[in-house]
Each structure stands twice: as C-alpha cells, then as structure tokens.
C-alpha cells in the first residue's frame, strides 16, 4: 500500500527518487519522504500530503546525493503526520518500510529498556532502532563497520514477526544500501554502474528494465558495482534476472485528465489483448499453463476467492461457471473465507482473482485453502511475477497493462474476460460445451472489443446524467442475474470516487426492504439488458416509479423501453449475449467518473484508499 524506491549511483539520485515516488504515489499518498547519505551524514525530508510537496521541500533544502531511499505512505500505525512519515532514522541508520510488524509493541518495550527513544507511533521505527542496536553491538565487539549494515539487518529481521519490504542506508556506509523482503514485494533494478531498489517496477523503469525479484526471507546488499542476494539462512544465492515488459506509456497520462479516464478508454485494447490467445488458438487448457489440462480435468467444482472489485468479477463468473461448465461454484470474500471453518472438497479448484497479485487477504485465503487440502489453485492476475500467481499452480494473466487509478476499471473487465475463458475451457473438459457452443462463444468474444467501444461512445450522454447525480447524497443500483454483480460494481465505483453513498441490490430484493429508501431524492440506476429477466426487472422498476423514485436505465438497443417522466434511458448498441455484463460495466464506470468530476473529488487518489491493499 506504500511505495519504496532507493538508488545508488555516480549521478545525483534525488531526481530518480522523486520521479520513482511520483510513479508509486497511486499506491499510498498520505505522506512522502526521502533520506540521502551525504558526506557521512544522513539528511531527511518528509511532508504530509503529496510527493510534490516533499519535492518542493527537497529542492528548497538543496538535496543532492549519490545514495538515497524514498517512501510514499498509506497510514496504518499512527496518523498522517510528518513524524510518522518514512524514512525513520535511528542514529544515522535510515529506513523505509512497507508492511506491518505484528510484534512491534514487544520490540518497542525491549528497545526502550536498551535506552532507545521513540519519535513516532509507527511500527517501522522499531526496525530502525533494532538495526542500529545490532550495528552498535557488532561495532562494540570490534567486528567493524564494513560488513556491519548487512549483518545488522539480517539479525534485526529475525526478531520481526509480520510483513516487510525494507530499504536501509547508514551514514557510516555510504557505499551500500541493504534491503530485505518478507510478505511484501521488493525488487532490485540493475543499471550500468548504478543500481536501484523498488517495491514496484514502475518506480525505476526510467532507469532500467532489468530486475531481480527478491524471494521471501531474502536480504540483499546493493552497491554501485553490483548486488549480492542472500536467502533466509543468509547464504549467498543467485536470483534470476528478468526484463520487465511494462510499458512507460501505460504509466503516463497522455491526453487524458485522469488515469481512471485513460484506463476506462483503454478497455477495447486491454480486452483484445486478454482474449488474443483464445481468438488465435481456441479455448484450450494451455491458456492457464502448460500442464493445466490434467488439473482442470481432475476438479469437481470451483471456489472463487477475492476482494472488492475482483470479488464482483468472481460473482459474475459464478453465473457463467454454473451455466457453461456445469460445475458447482462458490464465491467468497477472501477476508471472510480465511477465518471460516470451511469444509474443503480437495477437488474444488481454488480460483483467486487479484489485479495487483498482492492483496494480503486474498493471499492469506489462498494459503488457508491449501492448508485445508485443496489440490489445485489458479490465479487470475494482472501483474506478472506478483505474489499470488507465484503461489498458485495455474495462472491466467489478464493483459490490461498497468492500472494506476485506485478505482479498478480495465482490470475488472479483463478479469471477466479471463474468467469467461476459464468457464468455457472447463465446460469443454467436463463435456458441457459442444463444438458448436465453442464456436458461438468465440464469435461473441470476437465482437467484445467493438461492443465495448460502442459503449464508450455513450460518454457524452452519461456525463449529462452525472450532473444530476452530483448533487445527490445516495444512490441505488439494481440488476438481476449476471447483471447484479455489475450493479454492485457500479455502486462501488460511485462511492469510491464521488463519496456518494451507493448500494446495490438484486432488483427482486427491492421489495424486501430497500424500497423503503426510495423517494424523489433517490436516483435508482437499473442495469436492464434485453435478456430473459428483462420483464422481471421492468416490474421492479414499476415498484420504484410508484414511490416517486427517478430511474436511470442502461439497456440495449433491442429492448423495447421508452423514456417517460422519471424514467431516463441510455442504450448500449446491441445485446452482447452472454458477455453483456462486460459491456454494461462501461456505462457505470463512466457514470461514476463523471459524477466524481462534477463533484471535484480527486478521481485517481480518492480519500482513505490505496491501490493495493497489503494489510489486513
Ligand atoms: O488487487 P486486487 O484486485 O486484489 O484488489 C482488490 C480490491 O482491493 C480492489 O478491487 C478495490 O476494491 C478497488 N479499489 C476497487 O475499485
């Protein structure tokens, strides 16, 4: 949820750190800071608010150095204050940290007894003091500072329980940076005579594409000349060098005002990329890994686990799964599943869905599922080499490209496309999908990017609706069947970025309670495509109109709706068949975006949220 960047080079690294933090800012944006090692001293600048404020302070204070670390924070332990912002310093040792230290109170007591004083309320400050304590201990014993920082970090992390990615520098060792990883991603970027550390490759892409992903328990020493990596037993080890294919363009705004707007408009391309392999090679088990067929044949059901928007993708997939593959399918919020005494059928495939591949609740749910004996696991993820796919047997990478806006958009629709592919593949392997069905599904997929583009063209009409929504306090979203999860997603998007309270219900559930909320001040958004439930949805809409509620209906060109007083209608061009939920996602995304715009909120960085949620 926070972001780390570090650099050691012959050139001034301060611009590299600032640029890296700006690229990481979407991950957490409560406060930011850098620490540099400068002529045997550590200098630090921290500010609450955005990276640009910290940058101005760094310029004003004339920060320049060849070694430095930086951090952008999403507050967990301790409020949003400068004192709680990273880096934290303990007598010349400066450190930035992502993750949560669970035993920080116990360590704090121990360190207080050793004479350390605390300036912040964070768990992180404990780590800085611990490292200093071990450095001092080795210095006092005469081990000498040359190996000091690395050894001190390796000793300190053994005292920690919890999750961390760390980058550490010391004024006594201006030639190195030390880092460590457990439970939070961290990578090292390899340059020419300069090297980098980052929690996310986007932070260092301007400098290098060659990266080493640290493994759980690894520590590393990074100098200008090279990198040494050590495993959890402190044994030096070689880790593979990867070349990142993340494009710089995906990290730039281009002609758009916001990343969310850009990412909404990228959906035809993102979907075309995600379905490319199926369009070229058909619905083959190999889409999920070279040896996927045996595992996918072996299963008797599916359990989907995810959070937030990814959970709604899972809810949609359940309708497809049962209808297309004939397999029983359950969907559960990962943070609930992981603490439930679930009765596992080992032959139920665990499917985790996560844009980031880092979400702690989903990761822990996956571990829990494995501990219950589930034999096969599959991850639908947008970030190659991230933790959840690495912990899964089978993987389907969505090809949405980097998603920067906190509100997930293109990741959601590409997750849906990937899950649809999984349903059809399972249907084939389990004898439910005939050749004719397969050809039909392929044909529907072929039309998908075009249909999504048509839906995007509705933007001007939707922007007009958004002006009406901007003055509201509440909104209701309704859908049925496959489109109920899309109503949920529409409500989540609206509340996330416009701060309007929004709820979604299956339209048939309205009369069982939420109808009491409906009056002339309550806009009711209905997702009503021309499917077998349309007549039922129309009856539910009558219930709203009879109570004076104003209806905003998204439907297809071919459904016989007419506008009337209190009933506004926007039509997507044609019914997209079984893929209609993907097409009907576009209007609700645009409605949320334009409503937020009209209300003047920070669309890409909504209050209190962060892009990837690596805490419980
Ligand atoms: O990275 P993940 O897909 O695992 O993230 C799950 C949720 O945190 C995420 O979808 C969140 O709900 C988004 N902010 C929704 O827009």
pLDDT tens-digit readout, 67-88: 999 999 888 778 889 999 999 9
Q: Domain check: are 315 and 240 in the same one?
A: no
Using the mean position of ligand 1's atoms as its centre, give its distance from the Cα of residue 359 in Å: 8
The whole domain housing 409 covers 253-455
Residue ending a domain, among 455, 480, 514, is 455
Rounded to whole angstroms, how far apart are CA atoms 185 and 162? 14
The answer to whether the CB of 404 is under 6 A from ligand 1 is no
Helix (H) / strand (E) containing 493: helix 484-498
Per residue in 352-390, pLDDT (tens digit) is: 999 999 899 999 999 999 999 999 999 999 998 788 999
Q: Which residues of 404-420 are buried (b: 16+ CB within 10 A; e: fewer)?
A: bbbbbbbbbbbbbbbbb
Question: Percentage of the chain surpassing pLDDT 70?
Answer: 99
Using the mean position of ligand 1's atoms as its centre, give its distance from the Cα of residue 426 in Å: 26
Question: Is it the case that residue 145 has pLDDT exceeding 50?
Answer: no
Cα separations in angstroms, 171 against 58, 282, 432: 19, 58, 66
Q: Domain check: are 476 and 508 in the same one?
A: yes
Using the mean position of ligand 1's atoms as its centre, give its distance from the Cα of residue 389 in Å: 16
More confident residue, 501 or 563: 501
Q: Domain check: are 520 and 562 in the same one?
A: yes
CA nearest neighbour of 186 among 246, 125, 98: 98
Using the mean position of ligand 1's atoms as its centre, give its distance from the Cα of residue 297 in Å: 30
415 CA: nearest ligand 1 atom: 3
Rounded to whole angstroms, how far apart are CA atoms 571 and 583? 11
The answer to whether the CB of 354 is under 6 A from ligand 1 is yes
Q: What is the structure's pLDDT at 147?
A: 63
Of all protein residues, whose CA lies closest to atom 14 belonging to ligand 1?
Answer: 407
The CATH code of the domain that includes 611 is: 3.40.50.10490
Q: Domain check: are 493 and 428 in the same one?
A: no
Residue ending a domain, among 414, 438, 455, is 455
Q: What is the structure's pLDDT at 143?
A: 56
Cα separations in angstroms, 83 against 3, 6, 122, 493, 545: 18, 21, 9, 33, 54
Cα separations in angstroms, 424 against 428, 430, 445, 527: 6, 10, 12, 25
Q: Domain check: are 61 and 209 in the same one?
A: yes
Q: Domain check: are 228 and 87 in the same one?
A: yes
pTM above threshold 0.85: yes
Q: Domain check: are 432 and 483 in the same one?
A: no
The answer to whether the CB of 382 is under 6 A from ligand 1 is no
Rounded to whole angstroms, how far apart are CA atoms 514 and 524? 11
Per residue in 413-425, pLDDT (tens digit) is: 999 999 999 999 9
CA nearest neighbour of 6 among 215, 239, 180: 180
CA nearest neighbour of 182 among 52, 360, 368, 322: 360
Peptide linkage before 193 cis (omega within 30 of 0): no
Per residue in 262-272, pLDDT (tens digit) is: 999 999 999 99
Q: What is the structure's pLDDT at 476?
A: 96
DSSP summary character for residue 498:
H
Question: Is it the case that residue 258 has pLDDT exceeding 70?
Answer: yes
308 CA: nearest ligand 1 atom: 12
Question: Is it the case that residue 401 has pLDDT exceeding 60?
Answer: yes
Per residue in 16-70, pLDDT (tens digit) is: 999 999 999 887 788 999 999 987 789 999 999 989 999 999 999 999 999 999 9
Q: Domain check: are 537 and 575 in the same one?
A: yes
Per residue in 476-498, pLDDT (tens digit) is: 999 999 999 999 999 999 999 99
Q: Domain check: are 66 and 185 in the same one?
A: yes
* pLDDT tier for residue 146 given thresholds of 50, 70 and 90: very low
Q: Domain check: are 264 and 312 in the same one?
A: yes
Q: Domain check: are 181 and 238 in the same one?
A: yes
Number of Cβ within 10 Å of residue 146's Cβ equals 12
609 CA: nearest ligand 1 atom: 14
* Mean pLDDT, rounded, for 279-298: 94
Tokens for 337, please give them.
């599943």
Q: Domain check: are 225 and 280 in the same one?
A: no
Report the number of distinct structural domains present in the chain: 3
Of all protein residues, whose CA lies closest to atom 8 belonging to ligand 1?
Answer: 308
Question: Is it the case that residue 548 has pLDDT exceeding 70?
Answer: yes
* pLDDT tier for residue 281 given thresholds of 50, 70 and 90: very high
Tokens for 173, please give them.
């060792």
């Amino acid at each position: 949820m926070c972001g780390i960047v570090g650099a050691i080079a012959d050139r001034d690294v301060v611009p590299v750190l600032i640029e890296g933090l700006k690229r990481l800012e979407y991950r957490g944006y409560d406060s930011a800071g850098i620490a540099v090692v400068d002529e045997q001293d550590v200098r630090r600048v921290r500010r609450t608010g955005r990276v640009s404020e910290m940058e101005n302070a760094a310029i004003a204070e004339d920060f320049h150095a060849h070694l430095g670390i930086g951090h952008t924070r999403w507050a967990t332990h301790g409020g949003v204050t400068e004192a709680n912002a990273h880096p934290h310093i303990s007598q010349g040792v400066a450190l930035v940290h992502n993750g949560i230290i669970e035993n920080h109170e116990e360590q704090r007591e121990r360190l207080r007894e050793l004479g350390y004083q605390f300036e912040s309320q964070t768990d992180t400050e404990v780590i800085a003091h611990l490292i200093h304590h071990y450095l001092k201990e080795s210095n006092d014993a005469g081990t000498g500072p040359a190996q000091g920082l690395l050894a001190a970090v390796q000793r300190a992390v053994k005292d920690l329980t919890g999750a961390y990615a760390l980058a550490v520098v010391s004024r006594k060792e201006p030639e190195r940076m030390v880092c460590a990883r457990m439970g939070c991603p961290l990578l090292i970027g390899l340059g020419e005579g300069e090297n980098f550390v980052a929690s996310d490759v986007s932070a260092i892409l301007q400098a290098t594409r060659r990266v080493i992903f640290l493994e759980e328990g690894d520590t590393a020493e990074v100098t200008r000349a090279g990198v040494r990596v050590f495993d959890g037993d402190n044994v030096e080890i070689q880790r593979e060098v990867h070349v990142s294919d993340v494009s710089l363009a995906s990290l730039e705004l281009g002609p758009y005002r916001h990343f969310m707007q850009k990412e909404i408009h990228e959906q035809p391309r993102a979907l075309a990329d995600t379905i490319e392999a199926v369009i070229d090679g058909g619905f083959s088990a190999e889409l999920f890994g070279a040896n996927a067929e045996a595992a996918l044949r072996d299963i008797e059901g599916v359990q989907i686990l995810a959070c937030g928007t990814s959970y709604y993708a899972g809810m949609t997939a359940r309708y497809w799964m049962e209808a297309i593959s004939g397999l029983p399918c359950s969907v559960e919020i990962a943070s609930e599943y992981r603490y439930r005494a679930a009765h596992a059928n080992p032959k139920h495939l665990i499917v985790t869905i996560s844009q980031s591949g880092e979400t702690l609740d989903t990761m822990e749910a996956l571990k829990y599922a494995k501990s219950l004996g589930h034999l096969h696991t599959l991850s639908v993820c947008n970030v190659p080499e991230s933790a959840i796919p690495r912990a899964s047997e089978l993987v389907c990478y969505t090809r949405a490209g980097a998603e920067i806006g906190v509100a997930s958009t293109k990741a959601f629709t590409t997750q849906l496309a990937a899950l649809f592919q999984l349903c059809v593949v399972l249907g084939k392997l389990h004898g439910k999908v005939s050749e004719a069905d397969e050809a039909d599904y392929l044909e529907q997929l072929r039309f998908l990017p075009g249909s999504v583009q048509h839906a995007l063209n509705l933007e001007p009409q939707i922007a007009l609706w958004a002006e009406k929504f901007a003055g509201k306090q509440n909104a209701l979203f309704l859908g049925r069947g496959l489109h109920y999860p899309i109503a949920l997603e529409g409500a989540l998007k609206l509340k996330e970025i416009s701060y309007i309270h929004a709820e979604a219900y299956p339209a048939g559930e309205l009369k069982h309670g939420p109808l009491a909320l409906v009056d002339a001040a309550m806009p009711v958004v209905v997702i009503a495509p021309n499917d077998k439930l349309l007549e039922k949805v129309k009856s539910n809409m009558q219930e709203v109109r009879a109570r004076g509620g104003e209806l905003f209906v998204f439907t297809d060109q071919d459904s016989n709706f007419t506008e009337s007083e209190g009933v506004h209608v926007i039509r997507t061009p044609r019914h997209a068949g079984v893929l209609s939920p993907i097409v009907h996602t576009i209007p609700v995304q645009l409605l949320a975006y334009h409503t937020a715009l009209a209300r003047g909120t920070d669309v890409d960085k909504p209050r209190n949220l962060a892009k990837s949620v690596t805490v419980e």
